[in-house]
Structure 1
Amino acid sequence: MRKLAERELTSEGPKRAIGAKGTHRSVTVNLGESPIAWLHSRGHLSDRLFDAGEALRADYERAQLSPNLTMRWDPVRIKTGNYGSSEAGLSPSEKQVAAKQRFDGALAEAGKGLEDVLWRVVCAGEGVPQAEKALGWPARSGKLVLQLALERVADYYRTR
């Protein structure tokens, strides 16, 4: 999905553009591109690590762990055609619980200290530099730590 926006270019990286354009430089960014998709498209993550990150993010979203803004109006039972799935015949609540268990298992497999960068970059969509700053890490260390964490998550999900 392409969702383009203008961001002011600063020494810390792109920021949300504020006010009228003056002598400041701005860049166009795709808000629909996740940080791991950006890393993968530029060759910093292998297909295996990207797939593991996407599986973790999918479980995070299926488990509905992000804050909700309004009430959900989903029906109690949803009939699906994917009967070969391990979730075939489960209610939406049961699917949510199964996704939460997989998500918790993947974070546990990553280990202490690595779940923070996984959650920030993969699930919350923070950029690696922002995650490094929030975690108090040295610059350019986040990508390596994220790769280590995704290796463990890939083993958990048994991706390629």
Structure 2
Amino acid sequence: MSGRFKSEGDWAVARLSAARGRTSAFLSAEEGEAAERLRADHHRGSQMASITQRWDLSPRSGRGRGAEDLSDAALDARARLDRAIEAVGPELSGLLLDICCHLKGLEEVERERLWPARSAKMLLKAGLGILARHYGITGRCARGTGIRRWRDADARPTVSPG
């Protein structure tokens, strides 16, 4: 995790992405990065342009359009968030939004949804794996996450005339 967020120590994804002692981290680097991207898009998408006059800033000349840039960036972030949530599907999207964007704890989510203990942890890993694949960030760290096949990719069955 990059340390960009104030409450990162309390964030469930940050705790699960950190290696502790001799054990490796529960979440892979790709899954952690996918969670950060989802959270960043949620944060950017929730920003609104200021509609009041601001006396503390000097006018910007030629550097941007101010509120229009913020609105465009927020709209782009909202569109990326919508595509990501659609890619994850309705079964896991609420869980990812609660944990990654609304910073709820795993136990809190399990209690609210009446789930068994430690079930949110496994579903979070599955959802972040799907999200990492959607973002195109899988395969950067080799951890044996590729699709396993019982035959070679170029193997084709042959049919003999009978």
Fold equivalence (TM over 0.5): yes
Query: Does 2:121 match 1:143?
Result: yes
1:131 counterpart residue number:
109
Q: Which amino acid aligns with 1:53?
A: A
- State the alpha-carbon separation in 1 of the partners of residues 122 and 28 from structure 2: 13
- State the alpha-carbon separation in 2 of the partners of residues 72 and 146 from structure 1: 40
**Coordinate RMSD, CA, aligned:** 3.0
- State the alpha-carbon separation in 1 of the partners of residues 15 and 52 from structure 2: 31
2:147 counterpart residue number:
none
Could you list the runs of 5+ residues in structure 2 that have no partner in the other structure? 20-24, 141-162
Q: Deviations over 1:34-64 (max 9, x none)?
A: 2101110141110000000000000000101
Query: Does 2:29 match 1:51?
Result: no
Q: Secondary structure of 2:90's partner?
A: coil
Q: Secondary structure of 2:91's partner?
A: coil
Q: Higher mean Cα deviation, 44-53 or 147-156?
A: 147-156
Describe the shift of the 1:144–1:71 C-alpha distance in structure 2 as closer, same or farther (beyond 3 A).
Answer: farther
1:155 counterpart residue number:
133
Q: Secondary structure of 1:137's partner?
A: coil
In the TM superposition, residue 72 of structure 1 has moved relative to its aligned partner by: 7.5
Q: How many residues align?
A: 120
- State the alpha-carbon separation in 2 of the partners of residues 118 and 137 from structure 1: 15
Quick one: percent identity of the two aligned structures? 28
In the TM superposition, residue 32 of structure 1 has moved relative to its aligned partner by: 4.0
- State the alpha-carbon separation in 2 of the partners of residues 124 and 139 from structure 1: 20
Q: Is the 8 A contact 2:16 2:27 kept in 1?
A: yes
Of Structure 1 and Structure 2, which has the larger fraction of its residues in helix?
2
1:23 counterpart residue number:
none
TM-score (normalizing by structure 1): 0.65
